[in-house]
Structure 1
């Protein structure tokens, strides 16, 4: 549905050239919520502005529904942009206009008749949960309500794609979750393709199906959210995953359990999907004459299923420990023997 190939953006100054986006290639399916995450300066906001040519690419192509956005004339681009909605970190509302008038603004520009405009705006107000606030001004709204106006306005022209540039980073955690829930609902109701730019792994975890990790203008890793969470490959992805995995910051607590005793092993178990809900420990204790000491554990949900991490100490005959580990692995749970903690 969206094919991005070799996309680059170079900013030139008197002294140097800065490659803000460097040869990025991504395919995004229709109806998916695709996340792009990176730290400040990674190039993610420039990248999303290249998609609808708010920034002109230095090279590369952006193809949406078989239309090459990068090759359109100014006139054709203006028309094509009506199919690409966008919401911003700081809302970008018209402060002298009411909620109703803000949402109606793109329809006015598109020349939609007044009666049809009114019907559409009222539908959108209902969709984003702002019924009763039609005549309020932005200064009378909370941050979450302002972003709901921004979302409704971005949907006014029935876009195929919604670009979200740090859409929740100005909001408190509870409001952020409300807005993310709204975006998931809109995605399902309208089969709308959403591209989320963020520096918050919580956003990726909660609503995205796939994710690309950016660092210094390049995509250093991409894949299903669950895969990236469970087995991050790049240094940047590992740092982001640690934000949501407090166990990774508490590994020093495991040191006292790690010994050279062949009859004791500390192992890390990875549970994915339905395996995260299994009573694996009880199952193992029924089958093997072994002691299990649970040291640390956590479970996290994603759009593609849950994943969990559990650190346990196995105590018993060495051969029995090996047999137990083999059994756990055969059940579909990944096992990593912890030999030291860095």
Structure 2
């Protein structure tokens, strides 16, 4: 368990004090992938560097497995950092070293014997999919391969926690997906806790179990990814959700298609979890004397389950429509009547 209590960072300039992280509280479970999302200037990069004290906090505490990181001496911190791996947006590789030598570097610093180092490096090269590239230099690698080296290096000392500072921001979409899939595999195989900061909701959607939304140095919304995606509360969260879901549903349900419906009712069906994968529409059409016409829909998959929204036109006798709506509600689908034709 990682517990962050009233964590703050204030930068002093000649003219003013700038609060980058403001009394932040979070709890992160062992073995989960926890996302932190925010726009530039939200404080998320400062926050992740406070966890391993690459930035010294102005106040507050960071505790990992009952060890208070913020109370450690410099010598104790050096040892503790071996259990906290970190990967960066721009890879931070040693350009004069090969793939093998880059991955081996933290093991050399830790004083690991040569034979053990070589065995561990070989294991990590296989894990991150770099077999055959061991003797290449960073200048000979693609962006995705460089980040794989960064991930392998971060895992060298068998850390408990992996911090990812905008780890995919410098990569193209296809390479981003490959790196995110690798992080999911590592999380499952090693049981590693991963804290990932990003400004891209696609990244959160693809791999995170829970998410915190940061704005002006504070967490303004937090929760299970499916819950936050399906019911965003803060305006900044709604903007992020638009990145993967399109325009807000209020815009999608007005004159965009309502004027094309001449009879019946328009229903908004909201699916979360297992119901998003059920054949609800066909079930209702078979069981009740109603006709259903899909007008608009969007269903997305996340690590924590599926969620989505579907707009349908339903026509038939009023009593049959009522029965159909009651049935849909009974299988844990939210139903809202958006309009009558």
TM-score w.r.t. structure 2 length?
0.95
Query: What residue number does 1:52 align with?
Result: 52
Partners of 1:268 and 1:244 lie apart in 2 by 19
Report what 2:214 is aligned to: 214
Q: Deviations over 1:192-235 (max 9, x none)?
A: 10000011111111111111111111101111111111111111
Residue 25 of structure 1 aligns to a residue in which SS?
strand
Deviation at 1:14, TM superposition (A): 2.2
Are 1:116 and 2:116 an aligned pair? yes
Displacement after TM superposition at 1:262 (Å): 11
Mapping of residues 56-95 of structure 1, within 5 Å = 56-95=56-95
- Comparing 321-330 with 95-104, greater Cα deviation is found at 321-330
Aligned twin of 2:22: 22
Corresponding residue number in structure 1 for 2:302: 302
User: Greater shift after overlay, 170-179 or 277-286?
Assistant: 277-286
**1:97-122 CA deviation, whole Å, 9 max, x = no partner?**
10011011111111111111111111
SS of the residue aligned with 1:170? coil
Distance in 1 (CA, whole Å) between partners of 2:293 and 2:29 is 44
Structure 2 Cα separation of the partners of residues 267 and 251 of structure 1: 15
CA distance in 2, matches of 1:38, 1:136: 35
**Where do 1:1-342 residues align within 5 Å?**
1-246=1-246, 248=248, 251-252=251-252, 254-255=254-255, 257-258=257-258, 264-339=264-339
How far apart, in 1, do the equivalents of 2:252 and 2:269 lie?
A: 18
The two structures, once aligned, show a CA RMSD in angstroms of 1.9
Gaps of 5+ in 1: none
Displacement of 1:248 in angstroms is: 3.1
Distance 1:59 1:216 in 2: 17
Tell me the distance in 1 between the aligned counterparts of 2:16 and 2:61.
25
Q: In 2, are the aligned partners of 1:144 and 1:171 still within 8 Å (CA)? A: yes
Aligned equivalents of 1:284, 1:232: Cα separation in 2: 29
1:152-205 per-position Cα deviation (integer Å, ceiling 9, x unaligned): 000111100000000001001110111011111111111110000011111111
Q: What is the distance in 1 between the residues matched to 2:178 and 2:262? A: 50
Check conservation: 1:271, 1:308, Cα contact below 8 A.
yes
Per the alignment, do residues 252 and 35 of structure 1 end up closer, same or farther by CA in structure 2, a change over 3 Å counting?
Answer: closer
CA distance in 2, matches of 1:283, 1:326: 13
Instruction: Give the drift of 1:320.
Output: 4.2
Kindly state the Cα deviation for residue 302 of structure 1 after the two structures are TM-superposed: 0.8
**More off after superposition, 297-306 vs 310-319:** 310-319
- Paired residues in the alignment total 339
> By how many angstroms is 1:281 displaced?
1.1
The TM-score normalised by the length of structure 1 is: 0.94
C-alpha contact (below 8 Å) 2:162/2:195 kept by paired residues: yes
**Residues 107, 117 of structure 1: 8 Å contact kept:** yes
Distance in 2 of aligned mates of 1:118 and 1:257: 63
After superposition, the C-alpha distances for 1:239-287 in whole angstroms (9 at most, x for unaligned) are 111111125379457515436x996322211112221121111222223
